[in-house]
Amino acid sequence: MAFALWRKQIKCPNCQYEGKAQIKGSGCGLWLVFLVLFSISFLFWPLFIVAGIMFLWLLLKPADQICPKCKYVNPIPK
């Protein structure tokens, strides 16, 4: 659920798969943490700064594109 919702064309050096990458859905939990942090920051304002930094970080960090066949984490983009 991170910033990159599109899937790259990749070539896997591990199993020779060629085609669309699979996006590793590891960002969802972090967005949940962010939402909780954001809610609490209404009660304790300095948390707004932390929530703001975390929001930017979540938005800018690239999503992990992995091989759908063997789950190899570093496939070569085409």
* Minimum distance from residue 14 beta carbon to Zn ion (Å): 4
Side chain identity, residue 74: N
Quote the CA–CA distance of 49 and 54 in Å, as a whole number: 9
Nearer to Zn ion, 12 or 51 (CB): 12
Contacts of 22 (CB under 8 A, 6+ apart): 7, 65, 66, 67, 68
Residue 76 sits in the site that holds Zn ion (CB under 5 A) = no
* Minimum distance from residue 67 beta carbon to Zn ion (Å): 3
Which position among 9, 15, 32, 76 is part of the footprint of Zn ion (CB under 5 A)? 15
